[in-house]
Amino acid sequence: MQTARYLIWLPALLVMGCQPSGPEPGQQVWEQTCAVCHLNGIAGAPPIGNQAAWAPRIAKGLDTLVGHAQNGFEGEEGTMPARGGNTSLTDTQVAEAVNYMISQSQ
């Protein structure tokens, strides 16, 4: 009887263990702040997933990308407002969002 009870619950436990654990770090910040520009390339922002647009930026290094995202950037390639215009974001949140965009764009 005890074995039968375990066999009834085993499939439910296995399915529960297969559920996604939630969004990747940085994904929520990207969706709420960064997507406004990085979804469609507004103001020269490289669209997420566009490998050709991201490759030269990634080549500059993570520190440069994160620095531009945290402090803002103006150049021939476009304009990046500091923290995507969301001053409430922490340095960690900005870095996680940059890492998320890179992971989706390589």
pTM of the model: 0.79
The answer to whether residue 77 scores a pLDDT higher than 90 is no
- pLDDT confidence of 21, banded at 50, 70, 90? confident
The residue whose two tokens read 């990046």 is: 80
Give the CATH H-level superfamily of domain 23-103: Cytochrome c-like domain (1.10.760.10)
**Structure confidence by residue, pLDDT tens digits, 85-94:** 999 999 999 9
- pLDDT confidence of 23, banded at 50, 70, 90? confident
How much is the average pLDDT of 8-35?
Answer: 76
The answer to whether residue 11 scores a pLDDT higher than 80 is no
Task: List the one residue out of 99, 104, 82, 90 whose CA is nearest residue 26.
Answer: 99
